[in-house]
Amino acid sequence: MQTSDFTLTTTDGIEVLVHRWLPDGTVKAVVQIAHGLAEHSGRYARFAQRLTDHGYAVYANDHRGHGRTSGGRGIFAERDGWSRVVDDLALVTRQAKEEQPRLPVFLLGHSMGSFLARAYAAEHGSELTGLVLTGTAGSAGALGRIGVAVASTHARLQGHARPSGLMNTLSFGQYNSAFKPARTDFDWLSRDPDEVDKYINDPDCGFVFSAGGYRDLLSGLATVNSDRVVMRVPKHLPVHLASGDQDPVGANGKGVTAVAEQLRRAGVEDVTLTLWPGGRHEILNETNRDEVEQEIIDWLDAHLPTP
């Protein structure tokens, strides 16, 4: 595997860090990865190794407010943060297509990255050959609307960029409750204690997002779960959803199933769903990660265009 990094400059002057992992041999397609909240794209290097072993070129950027992308930590932007992060993904896609011309592009989004990927598919789905969503979530309903109101008020009173311990508690405070007695605050991520410890010990993981960032995130989640947006996903775009059936973000599979059913109602022709028994939130870092990775690769291979 050949590994390199580069940056792309956005129209508003943000330097977006992009990891690029290339196979040693022929490239058959591109997999673009959108990471989750309070983590970074470098955590996907192990999965990138598996993908490159199977001939896929992998591109993954650090979102605004994360990792080595410029700007303040825990904040997307002062204005239009959600749409700017989606636009950043499109910028990465354009670069990948320029470097790997005429090759199919798949987008894989995890958790918050899956919400962004769903927004991307509604706006730029014609650029994609397939969409993979891991650790996604359905509508938060009335609680989500309350969350947006609370985050907006907190941002107005305390500052848009100020870390919001209140929103962090409201958003993630109950995720560990199903795993008591818990060894750490992040047992909900994986059954593998080594993977949980890697997350905890990573200085670019687990930080508290800003009030404005939470407002953008919760507003974005509500938008991508609206019928209006789902109807804009191309009907021919294959979508695969994968989650642990003990993932609190996806309501132990209920929210993920609701997303799959909504896509089918909207007329998306090829929607598949796997709920991994016993799996928690980060299925790519779970105890059965080899099996999870292989299923995703098999799905990608099956959806490559026929020569």
What CATH number does the domain containing 233 carry?
Answer: 3.40.50.1820
Q: Which domain holds residue 247?
A: 2-140+224-302
Please indicate, yes or no, if residue 190 is contained in any of the structural domains: no
Tell me how far apart the alpha carbons of residues 295 and 242 are, in angstroms, rounded to a whole number: 10
Tell me how far apart the alpha carbons of residues 15 and 8 are, in angstroms, rounded to a whole number: 6
Max mean pLDDT among 134-148, 172-186, 261-275 falls in 261-275
Supply the mean pLDDT for the chain. 93
Please indicate, yes or no, if residue 218 is contained in any of the structural domains: no
User: What average pLDDT does this structure show over 10-25?
Assistant: 96
Question: Does the pLDDT value for residue 198 go beyond 70?
Answer: yes
Please indicate, yes or no, if residue 132 is contained in any of the structural domains: yes
Please indicate, yes or no, if residue 173 is contained in any of the structural domains: no
Please indicate, yes or no, if residue 185 is contained in any of the structural domains: no
Please indicate, yes or no, if residue 217 is contained in any of the structural domains: no
What's this model's pTM, rounded to 2 decimal places? Answer: 0.95
Please indicate, yes or no, if residue 103 is contained in any of the structural domains: yes
Query: At 167, is the pLDDT very low, low, confident or very high (cuts 50, 70, 90)?
Result: confident
Please indicate, yes or no, if residue 12 is contained in any of the structural domains: yes
Q: CB within 8 A of 22, min separation 6: which ones?
A: 1, 2, 3, 4, 52, 57, 58
Number of domains the chain contains:
1
